[in-house]
Amino acid sequence: MEKKKKKQKQNPSWQDLNPFLLSKIFSFLSPHNQLFGPPYVCHSWLSATLHNLFKNSNLDLRLIDTLHRKKQRLRFTHLLKLAINHYHGWVSIQFPSKHKFGYFGTVYIAENTPNITSVALSSEASVNMAPIFVSLLYWQKLKIFEARISPNGGCLVISQLADWCKNMTEIRLHGSVLMEREVTCLVEGLSGLKILDVCESTLSCAALGIMLDGRLKCVREINVLHCKFVGNNGEDARADYLEFRVFRDDMLEKACGMKSLKKFVHCLEGTCLHCKNRSSENK
């Protein structure tokens, strides 16, 4: 009996390996083998696989964009559900750019990740705002929000952020339409912002004036690069060069007067080739 015990101690089982070592080994496997191989062996191998796929404090869901078979995507979402139920220490989420989890999938993720402080949404496709609008009710500790949203979704997102996420320090909204109403809501509801990035959006001239009127007392960086500026008539403000030049000088003077502002990223000076091409495409 003693000899058998000694042999067992000398020959430990694979399932007794350090889980961090196992997850390192599994990282060399193809995505398909990670999904359909180690998780079926034992509980420790399943735990190591979850740690490898959804590791550290960042819940990175972009792997699902590389899975082309429906069976693979279903297996990924099943393991994701296990990981969410097993671990609650995530502080950031990176959503995929092509795959959409749908309303109930997105809200389920949000409901089980209440400590999230950073969310980055799709950078390639316009996001359906309905599930995100509801998810923000659970992400009340949110500090950083990044998204490329549909042109009409900016108002809903900004109002929801202003109502529920009072600790916001960084917002990056790309491709939206932001007029006086949206920017006023942002400035008054999220006055503690440090970074405001609305590049490649459609922005009214009055809205930019509100951004730079001094109510954002903590802001360090404002980015309006490649924005389309529209006047009161809704037309491209760059069409009238002399009038736009006066507007540009006024905005730059306001930016220089903001004590906290360290970086103002824009293409107001001169003719921006990117903006010129963009305006010609929209005609």
- Whole-prediction pTM: 0.84
**Better-scored residue on pLDDT, 256 or 22:** 256
Question: Of the candidates 207, 128, 135, which has an alpha carbon nearest to the alpha carbon of residue 165?
Answer: 135
Q: What is the structure's pLDDT at 277?
A: 62
- With H, G, I as helix, E, B as strand and everything else as coil, classify residue 135: helix
Domain ranges of the chain: 143-282
- With H, G, I as helix, E, B as strand and everything else as coil, classify residue 130: helix
The mean pLDDT value for 214-243 works out to 90
DSSP 239: G
Which residue matches tokens 């900004």? 158
Q: What is the pLDDT of residues 147-197, one digit of tens each?
A: 887 777 777 888 889 999 999 999 999 888 899 999 999 999 998 999 999
Assess whether pLDDT exceeds 90 at residue 224. yes
Q: What percentage of residues in the chain have a pLDDT greater than 90?
A: 46
DSSP 126: P
DSSP 149: B
The mean pLDDT value for 59-70 works out to 91
CA distance 130 to 160: 11
Query: What six digits make up the tokens of 31?
Result: 């995505």
Query: What six digits make up the tokens of 76?
Result: 């990924």
Q: What is the structure's pLDDT at 50?
A: 86
Order across the sheet with 58-60: list the strands: 58-60, 92-94, 118-120, 144-148, 170-174, 195-197, 221-223, 263-265
Assess whether pLDDT exceeds 70 at residue 24. yes
Classify the C-alpha dihedral 189-190-196-199 as positive or negative.
Answer: negative
With 0-12 CB in 10 A as exposed, 13-18 as middle and 19+ as buried, what is 44? Answer: middle
**Better-scored residue on pLDDT, 19 or 254:** 254
- With H, G, I as helix, E, B as strand and everything else as coil, classify residue 59: strand
Among 16-25, 95-104, 139-148, 233-242, the range of highest mean pLDDT: 139-148
Q: What is the structure's pLDDT at 100?
A: 85
Question: Of the candidates 98, 94, 54, which has an alpha carbon nearest to the alpha carbon of residue 78?
Answer: 54
Q: What is the structure's pLDDT at 74?
A: 93
Residue 146 — φ and ψ, nearest 5°?
-130, 130
Is residue 115 within a helix (H) or strand (E), and if so which, with residue range?
Answer: none
Distances in Å between the alpha carbon of 260 and those of 6, 192, 207? 69, 11, 19
Which residue matches tokens 């097993």? 86
Among 47-56, 153-162, 214-223, 234-243, the range of highest mean pLDDT: 214-223
Question: Of the candidates 86, 87, 65, 67, which has an alpha carbon nearest to the alpha carbon of residue 75?
Answer: 67
pLDDT band, residue 12 (cuts 50/70/90): low
CATH code of 143-282, in short, is 3.80.10.10
Q: What is the structure's pLDDT at 34?
A: 86
Q: What is the structure's pLDDT at 112?
A: 92
pLDDT band, residue 11 (cuts 50/70/90): low
Is the Cβ–Cβ distance between 131 and 107 less than 8 Å? yes
**Better-scored residue on pLDDT, 10 or 207:** 207
Is the Cβ–Cβ distance between 158 and 132 less than 8 Å? no
Q: What percentage of residues in the chain have a pLDDT greater than 70?
A: 87
